[in-house]
Every structure is written in structure tokens, then in C-alpha cells.
Amino acid sequence: MVKFPEKVLLATAALCVITSGVCIAQDTSTVILGGTGQAPHIQTVIDGVSDALTSSGVKVKVESGDSKSRSAILDEMKTSGNSILLYLTVNTMRGQRGKLLAESFVDGKKIWEEEVRGSLMAVSAEGEVQGMTKSLIEKLKKRIGGPGLPK
């Protein structure tokens, strides 16, 4: 058995603490994706947006496939070390045009939003949601690489 002087052991322990601190550093490049809306529409939108952003080089982590409040996600992000949230809100009501809202938050502050409306000619809610998702993705692609959607 090799005996090390006490100073060497303390220096090694300090180095371990320092390197572990780096491992839990804040993740500023992953976009947390969450939202609210009627099922299954919110899942359709989250899946579509997540796939589009990921294929464009944006690191995305889906918070939940179910509706979850923005404040709950932002609170969880404080402990997880993430700083970017893309929050989606899907509103579909019979007899009215649907609305899809994307809001980007960095460190809990809203920095931009994009909104799209459904078609008056939509035959079904599912078709309307798919059309709104496609329109939103086109708008989001223009923001990739900027604040709220880092590559």
C-alpha cells in the first residue's frame, strides 16, 4: 500500500470537487420544449416542432408530451440548469379559427413570440393543427441560430 502525504490527498480532493462542479454547469444550448393545449393536438405540435428543430441542428429536450404550465416548467428549469424554453400553446375551438403560439424564454424572460392562425377552410381540427404546425415551423426555421434557438 502506498502512503500519500495529507497535502496531496487534500489537493486531489479539491481537484475532484472543482471538476465535478464543471459537470453540473448550466446547459445554455439545449432548448426545453413544452406547452399546453388539448390532447392530442399539443402532442402533434410538440412532435412536429421537435423533429424540425432537431433536424436543423438545434438541441431539443421535450419536457413533456402532455400539457404543462409554463411556470411549472420554468421552475423545474432552475434546478436542472437549463435556460432556454420554447413554450407552445394550441387553441382549437369549434367554429373558430385555431391559434398556435410559440413563446421563447431565456433565463425566464420572454424574448420573442410567433403566432399562426388556422384556416377557416379546415375540414377537421387535426388538419387545422397540422397546417398550423407546418406554418409555425417555417417561421421558427428563420430564427434558428439566433436568441432562443441556438445551434
**Structure confidence by residue, pLDDT tens digits, 28-53:** 689 999 999 999 999 999 999 999 99
Q: What is the pLDDT of residue 23?
A: 34
Q: How many CA atoms lie within 13 A of 40 on its CB side?
A: 6
Q: Would you give the DSSP letter of residue 108?
A: T
Q: What is the pLDDT of residue 54?
A: 98
Q: How far is CA 116 from CA 4, 23, 29, 97, 149, in A?
A: 66, 39, 26, 10, 18
Q: Does domain 27-141 have CATH number 3.40.50.10610?
A: yes
- CA-closest candidate to residue 84, choices 18, 149, 36, 13: 149
Q: How many CA atoms lie within 13 A of 71 on its CB side?
A: 0
What mean pLDDT do residues 130-146 have? 97
- CA-closest candidate to residue 34, choices 65, 57, 76: 65
What mean pLDDT do residues 61-72 have? 82
Sorted by where each begins, the domain ranges of the chain are: 27-141
pTM of the model: 0.79
Q: How far is CA 103 from the centre of its chain?
A: 10
